[in-house]
Amino acid sequence: MKLLIQRLIAILLLVIPGIAAAYGFLLMKDAIYDYFVKIGDINVTSPDFAWGMFIGGAILFLLGIGFIGGWIFFRDRKHNYLSSRFRPKTPRPPRPPKLPQTEDNSAKENHISDQS
């Protein structure tokens, strides 16, 4: 029963931002649509745009989409599904120091490469 309640809460945590994003999109759409309707009305001399409704809708939309996108990103990071560019950088191990080239070393290397 405890697992069922946890899954229900997890679904609600994703559905609520999704509904907020959809409502924000509708607010932006209505603001633009109402502006175009006012332009076509011959009785209105100067149509004004509903900036408050549009900005409020944009904020709701961006917050909802950002929450869902962030949730997916961190879930994929936890399961190691991300592309290499999104993974944390791991430092490369240092290279071993090069030995100085001497006549004896270069002669041995040439002799070994000649045999192969």
Residue 47 structure tokens? 């149509």
Q: What is the pLDDT of residue 25?
A: 98
Q: What is the pLDDT of residue 71?
A: 93
Task: Please give the average per-residue pLDDT across 60-65, as a whole number.
Answer: 98
Report the domain count for the chain. Answer: 1
Residue 7 placed within a domain? no
Residue 101 placed within a domain? no
Residue 74 placed within a domain? yes
User: Cβ atoms within 10 A of the Cβ of 22, count?
Assistant: 13
pLDDT in tens, 18-43: 999 999 999 999 999 999 999 988 88
Q: What is the pLDDT of residue 68?
A: 95
Name every residue whose Cβ is closer than 8 Å to that of residue 83 and which is 6 or more positions away in sequence. none
Question: By residue range, what is the domain housing residue 41?
Answer: 25-86
Per-residue confidence at 54, pLDDT binned at 50, 70, 90?
very high
pTM exceeding 0.75: no
Q: What is the pLDDT of residue 113?
A: 53
